[in-house]
Structure 1
């Protein structure tokens, strides 16, 4: 009966390792998608906003190795490997849970700093290529102009005009602009801050959901590994 119970735990552990392998792919994909989505705008963000997706990508890679260790420990019914697997899985659980909480907290904590950074970078548009490229990509992608409105560019460019990327690509013929002043009719009237803030918040929610959700699945794997290790140790002592 005891052997039958250990076989059940073994097969359950195999099933969870399959889930861990899939979750590892999910973690890497989620982290990569969010990082790629906001990486073009890192000029306006603190490093702590970019840290969670990078950590999740690293953790997702480690999950593959840990899942392999769990499979080997289950097949060989090796007590030491199963305990090592449980400990590593617990460390990953803590890391993913921490990343999830950090991402959830950061989504409401970065706005003021990001707005300050965006306002500060306006005056660097003509001085630094990195700043110019970041603003051009931001304004083109989100069809916006300035931080909160086009008037934010007033006084920051020597020409006294707004960047060409503020111009509406679909504006009527008579309203089209080319490097126009901030109050021209053919430029985007909405600022970029709200749009970028919402994009970063969406990414943070994805990371929080993936990190916390998968972390609790892995906690079940820790329990199963310890149960099997305990059964192995008991059988060896008899």
Structure 2
């Protein structure tokens, strides 16, 4: 038996396999959901421009495929004790880690530009794409998402309720969706007074929610980073043990 068959190597190997089986199953689940969303054209449209890169279905499928391949390479690399697959796994995790760091840096350094972009695009989306008659239908994703956000965060519009005035759905009318009403009943957005609408804009409410949960999100991001570093370390350790054993043999 080679030296790499020691208890420490076996412990790392089987923990590595177990972890990557979970990753593989997670990737399979995410990929399945993404394909289901694409096939059924479910109402999960993003409020951002409906481009192929930014669509929810494409992002979900890509994320699922990457996680699936990552878990597969990790499992096969450990089970078959393949140095090549372990290297591929290490490179995959390293690239993902680098992209996460780059994305975080980009968000921090271009916070104002990103904020302005989101503000303009989401506002344009509700002005052009919000169609109450599509509520409950497969192509009524914008309606479902906007109404859900306004109801959950008790807000109205991007900055305030005037964002809904004279949109494409009701030109030349000072109306708002029923989800803007403090007491939501059918038609309250058309006939109600401004006192009956939520006074706060949704953009600030969503920002406040993120700030309030920043600690939790930060801990979660740290845990993910630590797991990635540990998996890369485990892949390198197994690679080195396999290479050392091969040279001895």
- TM-score over 0.5 for the pair: yes
Superposition deviation, residue 92 in structure 1: 1.9
Q: Unaligned stretches of 5+ in structure 2?
A: 38-42, 135-139
1:147 to 158, 171, 175: 158
C-alpha RMSD of the superposition: 4.1
Q: 2:117 matched to 1:113?
A: yes
Q: Which runs of 5+ in 1 are unaligned?
A: 75-80
Matched ranges for 1:29-178 at <5 A: 40=44, 42-44=46-48, 47=53, 55-74=62-81, 81=82, 83-105=83-105, 107-108=107-108, 109=111, 110-124=114-128, 125-126=130-131, 129=134, 130=140, 131-156=142-167, 157-158=170-171, 159-169=173-183, 178=188
Find 2:241's aligned residue among 221, 225, 228: 228
Contact 1:28/1:56 (CA < 8 Å) preserved in 2? Answer: no
1:146 match: secondary structure = coil
Do the aligned partners of 2:175 and 2:189 also contact (CA within 8 Å) in 1? yes
Count of matched residue positions in the alignment of Structure 1 and Structure 2? 220
Q: Do 1:151 and 1:183's aligned partners in 2 also have CA atoms closer than 8 Å? A: no
Conserved? CA contact 2:31–2:65, under 8 Å: no
Deviation sequence 1:170-223 (CA, Å, 0-9, x none): 79xxxx981246852121111111234466786986884465333212211222
CA contact (8 A) 1:148 1:194 kept: yes
Given that 1:23 and 1:214 are in contact with CA atoms closer than 8 Å, whether structure 2 keeps it comes out as no
- Bigger shift: residues 223-232 or 180-189: 180-189
Q: Please give the alpha-carbon distance, in whole angstroms, between the structure 1 residues aligned to 2:21 and 2:55.
A: 27
- The normalised TM-score by structure 1 is 0.69
Greater relative contact order, per chain length (Cα 8 Å cut-off, separation 6+)? 1
The TM-score with structure 2 as length reference comes to 0.67
